[in-house]
Amino acid sequence: MSTGRKTALSENTLFGMGNPLLDISAVVDKDFLDKFGLKLNDQILAEEKHKVLFEEIVKRNKVEYHAGGSTQNSVKIAQWMIQKPHKVATFFGCIGTDHFGEILKKKAEEAHVDAHYYEQNEEPTGTCAACITGDNRSLVANLAAANCYKKEKHLDLDSNWELVKKAKVYYIAGFFLTVSPESILKVAKHASDNNKIFCMNLSAPFISQFFKEPLMKVMPYVDILFGNETEAATFAKELGFETDDIAEIAKKTQNLPKENKKRQRVVVFTQGKDDTVATVGEKVTMFPVLDIDQNNIVDTNGAGDAFVGGFLYALVQEQDLEECIRAGHYAANVIIRRVGCTFPEKPDFH
């Protein structure tokens, strides 16, 4: 029987691991950003000085809570695009035994993602303050429990590792490099040794700047690397590429050392409303995004995660790069019309 798909999907085909966070999003003004020294469109880790920010943002008149965390968002979107069967996407990460943790479990279940959280009670469930100003968003993540993920306490357990082995495509955002690089390496090596697809994301400028060593340890195992234009520029600077031409950066990144020679690395850089840049074989190609009226953009929080989610949806079905990017553009276009990384009941992608 034909499902009309290129491949019939089975449970746990897509594996994601990262920081499960509850997004607390509110529209703020420039003064709020300045008060906490935030940039318009950035992602940072919370420091002591941001404690007050979390107290203040929840008091805003229109505050919304949504399940978040970059990798979790992406696998959730991929699952949403797939629809059936449920639980094609697996997710690992660490939460606390608290109310926010319960919300994340419930939301993952509603999204039909097979989430297996490592639960501990030392730290509360992580949160991310999404400070929205017009069509920009500044994210401040308080990892808390997310930072407590332990390879030997979770990933290494037979029942969990079996789920990892079932997957054909792996995706881990660069954010997780600050938590458990050894878990990432174990998964990345498994993918490489078995000629499966391992995907990663540059995630934020601070990853290339302050976590360059663990990032470059994983790089030889990366089959598909995602990032946006700012992250690409920072990465190029850190690696001394001596160019700010995004196509050139993509090419140089593609040519970095690689373990599994059976797969040529693919590099995909998004640029907001500008063309997405991708390496296609030996050349670099530009893919225009879908047009959208500025007035229809509610917030861009989750747009990058959604792009990856759409891309993964097509990738697990073994579709070509152009189709993966088209699906990514579709998902991002849906997400920016809504608050946070949320989506309508069903996709309308053909």
Query: What total of structural domains would you count in the chain?
Result: 1
Q: With respect to residue 285, please indicate whether it lies within any of the assigned structural domains.
A: yes
Q: With respect to residue 278, please indicate whether it lies within any of the assigned structural domains.
A: yes
274 is catalytic: no
Q: With respect to residue 221, please indicate whether it lies within any of the assigned structural domains.
A: yes
> Do 155 and 164 contact (CB within 8 A), yes or no?
yes
Q: Which of 291, 293, 305, 320 is catalytic?
A: 305
Q: Looking at residue 298, what is its pLDDT?
A: 80
Per-residue pLDDT of the chain (350 residues; tens, 9 = 90+): 334 455 679 999 999 999 999 999 999 999 999 999 999 888 999 999 999 999 999 888 788 888 899 999 999 999 999 999 999 999 999 999 999 999 999 999 999 999 999 999 999 999 999 999 877 889 999 999 999 999 999 999 999 999 999 999 999 999 999 999 999 999 999 999 999 999 999 999 999 999 999 999 999 999 999 999 999 999 999 999 999 999 999 999 999 999 999 999 999 999 999 999 999 999 999 999 999 998 898 877 789 999 999 999 999 999 999 999 999 999 999 999 987 677 888 999 98
> Do 339 and 64 contact (CB within 8 A), yes or no?
yes
Q: With respect to residue 258, please indicate whether it lies within any of the assigned structural domains.
A: yes
Q: With respect to residue 104, please indicate whether it lies within any of the assigned structural domains.
A: yes
Neighbouring C-beta atoms of residue 10, cutoff 10 Å: 11
> Do 263 and 222 contact (CB within 8 A), yes or no?
no
> Do 24 and 129 contact (CB within 8 A), yes or no?
yes
Query: What's the domain range around 170?
Result: 14-20+68-124+143-336
Q: Could you tell me the CATH number of the domain that includes residue 240?
A: 3.40.1190.20
Q: With respect to residue 102, please indicate whether it lies within any of the assigned structural domains.
A: yes
DSSP secondary structure, 95-154, as one string: EESSHHHHHHHHHHHHTT-EEEEEEESSSPPPEEEEEEETTEEEEEEE-GGGGG--IIII
Strands 21-27 and 64-68: antiparallel
Using DSSP, state whether 43 is helix, strand or coil.
strand
Q: Looking at residue 4, what is its pLDDT?
A: 44
Q: Which residues contact 158 (CB under 8 A, 6 or more apart)?
A: none
User: What would the pLDDT profile of 24-79 be if each residue is shown by its tens digit?
Assistant: 999 999 999 999 999 988 899 999 999 999 999 988 878 888 889 999 999 999 99
Entry pTM: 0.94
Q: With respect to residue 57, please indicate whether it lies within any of the assigned structural domains.
A: no
> Do 252 and 236 contact (CB within 8 A), yes or no?
yes
